[in-house]
Structure 1
Amino acid sequence: MLSVDRHGPGSMQYTQSNDMRRIDIGTARRVLSAHLLPHNMYHVSSNNDHQSIAIEHRDLDQISFNRVIYDERIKVESPQFRNFNTLMIIRSGEVSARHGAASFSAKAGDVVLFSGKARSIFEFSAEFEQMTLKIPTSIIDAVAGNHNFSAHLRPGVLRCDTNPLLQAIESIYASIGQPNDIYRSRVVRKEAERLIAAMVIAACGDAGQPAEASDFPPSLVRACAFIERNLGGEVSIEDLCRVASISASGLNYIFKRYLGFSPLRYLALCRLEAANEMILRYPARQITEIALDCGFLHLSRFSGLYAKRFGELPSQTRNRALGALYRPN
């Protein structure tokens, strides 16, 4: 039987009996509920092929955050990390991995990033503990563009301090786990996801800090300012080229180089973010009016893009915002 006991912050002790086919789930649950997060935020599972305890956080819609503990050396082949950035924080033990054509090893205290379409093969040491944060690249890109971050997250072993990041993430999950229904709303979870993505970029991105406005070419600054002033009107590539005094190919290059999006994709994201903010701030307004104010002429197309961006329909965001507004204290 494998049991887990916590001895001070960040440390665990592993003990085994002759029965290697079982895990003391009760012990794990008691310890983890006391020291990690509320019970409904995780599940404990076992696999007879190897001994492990997995605590997976379920409450966020697109970001998963889990802790896995192995008590014997194993080899795992992972499927493709398609459309995800996966951050593995090594808490104890060692891991050797092959991610596409790259090979590397990591030890306790290291942070490993996997991304793209490559298949990965891991070999974990005995008494290995990891925490894994899996974030869709769409969230990383959107947050980076909206907040002017340098979001170049390259696969491999990263050199960054993740302790503040982990503390902040656990605090977010703990807040969402509170009994107040507002913390369980999809709107709040979406905001939490974007906050987590911003913290990952700040902790592990190349620059690690928001880019200053002076870091951007003047042509890009002018184009972005024009977009912000005209979210409700017609904005064409020709308009942006004229304002930025740059060719269409040059415009596309600077947007992708500094923001990670094409100009029209950035325009659409700005409009969606503006619509989301207006729905949350003025839930009594009609969705159609807000869509038109933000430059969307076709409600069905707006609803589809909105659902893809935020994980719910505009009407669902509105209903949740209204519920939070009129819920008695």
Structure 2
Amino acid sequence: MMHAQLLSQRSTVFDHADPHAVSGYINQHVGTHRIGMPRSGRPLASLNHRKFASLDLCRISYGGSVRVTSGALENVYHLQVLLHGHCLWRGRGLEHAFTPGELLLINPDEPVDLTYSADCEKFIIKLPVQLLESLCDEQRWRYPGQGVRFLENRYRLDELEGFVGLLAMICQEAEASEPVPRVQEHYAQIIASKMLGLMKTNVSRTCLGSQAATFEGLADYIARHLKQDIDSEALARQARMSLRSLYGLFERHAGTTPKNYIRQQRLERIKACLSDPACNVRNVTEVALDYGFLHLGRFSDSYRKQFGELPSETLKRRH
């Protein structure tokens, strides 16, 4: 009953076809993999497929016992629902024989090793990393430095409240005679939200608090590490947010990029030091190098643009 709702014949791309042709199509649209076929017999594979906003939806059967292997998926997640037959999964030093109604989640950094039974049929959703990242941004959840990871690989569909109905709805919407892109985007976000809500992940769903407080914390961190090499990626990890969120935060509170803000703060610190007789500075070059300005010509130009005078003039004035 369930599988009939997940992509109908209207989405058929291959029917009783060469498994290698189906595999080639999968490599183009769903994820790079290799298949190992039995030496005897001529299995016939079938595939239904739809693009759906940033997702790919497919229903696949190879028609024979097939081993599917792949390196890490890198920038996508796979959600695979077993509809018929059996599928042996090997990963994380474990193995599990999936049965109909079970769901397998594959993280972007995990290699794939699956053996399908001859009667195995699956429904697969490919989700891009950016979809889950943008969702964390919108919800203001703490974004893990290593990216979103699903901590458990397998679930039973009947344990995931409302999930089967949602899968059926997106398949119905995918096959609509006049698809509406905005509606599809909303559904894609809903399925990602549902996954983060129902399944165990490394995402802390604690809100980051007020943006001002977050920015103040980062400004304090920068002030304490001005002589060290600070890049945007390190700041994002420190704030436990994505790069996109970090850039938005600095645009709202400082009107510039993190890199420019750090350079401005370094120049401010250098000016304070050059102006203060108590600060032990022998020359401009020494203090510029101390704060990571390796190209002295560019440093002097940036300093003049920010303060209207050369650093040497600031130093002279304090004597």
Alignment-mate amino acid for residue 125 of structure 2 = L
User: Residues 55-74 of structure 1 correspond to what in structure 2 (within 5 A)?
Assistant: 55-58=48-51, 60-74=52-66
- Offset, 1:175: 3.0
What is the distance in 1 between the residues matched to 2:135 and 2:49? Answer: 24
What is the distance in 2 between the residues matched to 1:82 and 1:155? Answer: 18
Q: Does 2:192 align with 1:197?
A: yes
Q: Does 2:63 align with 1:75?
A: no
User: Residues 81-96 of structure 1 correspond to what in structure 2 (within 5 A)?
Assistant: 81-96=73-88
CA contact (8 A) 2:152 2:200 kept: no
Partner-residue secondary structure (3-state), 2:162: helix
Higher relative contact order (CA 8 A, sep 6+): 2
Alignment-mate amino acid for residue 157 of structure 1 = R
Larger Rg: 2
- Note the alpha carbon deviations across 1:36-84, whole angstroms, 9 max, x for none: 55665453444335323222122x2431121223443222223531211
User: Residues 33-52 of structure 1 correspond to what in structure 2 (within 5 A)?
Assistant: 35-37=5-7, 40-49=10-19, 50-52=43-45
User: Residues 27-176 of structure 1 correspond to what in structure 2 (within 5 A)?
Assistant: 35-37=5-7, 40-49=10-19, 50-58=43-51, 60-99=52-91, 102-108=93-99, 109-148=101-140, 152-154=149-151, 156-158=153-155, 161-162=159-160, 164-176=162-174
What is the distance in 1 between the residues matched to 2:202 and 2:156? Answer: 12
Partner-residue secondary structure (3-state), 2:49: strand
CA contact (8 A) 1:98 1:121 kept: yes
What is the distance in 2 between the residues matched to 1:96 and 1:56? Answer: 23
- Pair 1:246–1:133, CA change in 2 (3 A): farther
Q: 1:267 matched to which residue of 2?
A: 246
What is the distance in 2 between the residues matched to 1:158 and 1:39? Answer: 27
What is the distance in 2 between the residues matched to 1:118 and 1:125? Answer: 22
Alignment-mate amino acid for residue 255 of structure 1 = A
What is the distance in 2 between the residues matched to 1:76 and 1:136? Answer: 21
- Offset, 1:135: 0.5
- Offset, 1:95: 1.8
CA contact (8 A) 1:114 1:155 kept: no
CA contact (8 A) 1:162 1:203 kept: yes
- Pair 1:43–1:269, CA change in 2 (3 A): farther
Q: Does 2:200 align with 1:221?
A: no
Which of 180, 192, 195 is the equivalent residue of 1:184? 180
CA contact (8 A) 2:9 2:48 kept: no
User: Residues 273-284 of structure 1 correspond to what in structure 2 (within 5 A)?
Assistant: none
Partner-residue secondary structure (3-state), 1:153: coil
What is the distance in 1 between the residues matched to 2:136 and 2:112? Answer: 26
- Offset, 1:243: 7.9
What is the distance in 1 between the residues matched to 2:72 and 2:236? Answer: 29
Which stretch has the larger CA shift, 149-158 or 81-90?
149-158
Q: TM-score, normalised by structure 1?
A: 0.53
- Offset, 1:244: 9.4
Please give the root-mean-square deviation of Cα atoms over the aligned residues, in Å.
4.1
- Note the alpha carbon deviations across 1:141-177, whole angstroms, 9 max, x for none: 2112322457541363346634722321321332354
- Note the alpha carbon deviations across 1:167-224, whole angstroms, 9 max, x for none: 21321332354344xx433x4433332222112212223389x8354xxxxxx413x2
Percent identity, aligned pairs only, is: 13
CA contact (8 A) 2:6 2:167 kept: no
Q: 1:241 matched to which residue of 2?
A: 218
Structure 1 segments unaligned to the other structure (5+ residues): 1-8, 12-31, 214-219, 228-236, 273-291, 298-329
- Offset, 1:122: 1.4
Q: Does 2:209 align with 1:211?
A: no
